[in-house]
Amino acid sequence: MKPFVAILGTLLLLAVGAFCLFGFLAIFEPTTNTAQFMMFRIGYSVTGLGCLVGVGLLIARVASR
């Protein structure tokens, strides 16, 4: 894999991860509909952690060359 593609993919995944982080923090506002907001918390968490795993794999793949 070319380093440029890995850098571009890493930047894209970090942008999505940052969006998920801010969305996760915004979900903690007071609300009466806790079930719906719990689904958003889980979704933001899974997506954000998936992005971080993807970044780690991209960095590991480029570093192993």
CA–CA separation, 38 and 30 (whole Å) = 12
For the segment 7-65, what is each residue's pLDDT rounded down to a tens digit? 999 999 999 999 999 999 998 888 888 888 899 999 999 999 999 999 999 999 998 87
**Looking at residue 1, what is its pLDDT?**
62
SS (H, E, C) the chain: CCHHHHHHHHHHHHHHHHHHHHHHHHCCCCCCCHHHHHHHHHHHHHHHHHHHHHHHHHHHHHHCC
pTM to 2 decimal places: 0.86
